[in-house]
Amino acid sequence: MKVTINSVHFKASSDLEEFINQKVEKVCSKYGEVIGAEVNLKLDNTDTPENKITDIRLMLKGDDLYASKQCKSFEEATDQAVDALKKQLEKYKGKFTK
């Protein structure tokens, strides 16, 4: 499975990219339906400290799942987005096991 990381208007550190890869691959390894993932990192132009946005799209056979979170750090936003995707994957998997 391939994880593509895009950072908009800045260069993501290799530590951040490694962290994101580990989180996304961990959740995807539990679900064989996932064929790829795309992660977009953005900085919001606001004065608040919670200006870091992580968008994650998981590509499945036939469908895509999407989560976007905004937090103080990209790591925190990634954690929250991955948690949201876990819930979506559980619902998605539940549809086909009934």
**Boundaries of every domain in the chain:** 2-97
CATH number assigned to the domain with residue range 2-97, chosen from the 4 options 3.30.565.10, 3.30.160.100, 3.40.50.880, 2.130.10.10: 3.30.160.100
- The amino acid occupying position 94 is G
- For the segment 41-52, what is each residue's pLDDT rounded down to a tens digit? 999 887 777 899
Query: For the whole prediction, is pTM greater than 0.75?
Result: yes
pLDDT band per the 50, 70, 90 thresholds, residue 2? confident
- For the segment 50-95, what is each residue's pLDDT rounded down to a tens digit? 899 999 999 988 889 999 999 999 999 999 999 999 999 988 887 7
Non-local CB neighbours of 33 within 8 Å, separated by 6+ positions? 60, 61, 92, 93
Region 10-25: mean pLDDT is 93
Q: Helix or strand or coil: residue 38? A: strand
CB atoms within 10 A of CB 1: 13
- The amino acid occupying position 9 is H
Say what the pLDDT of residue 48 is: 79
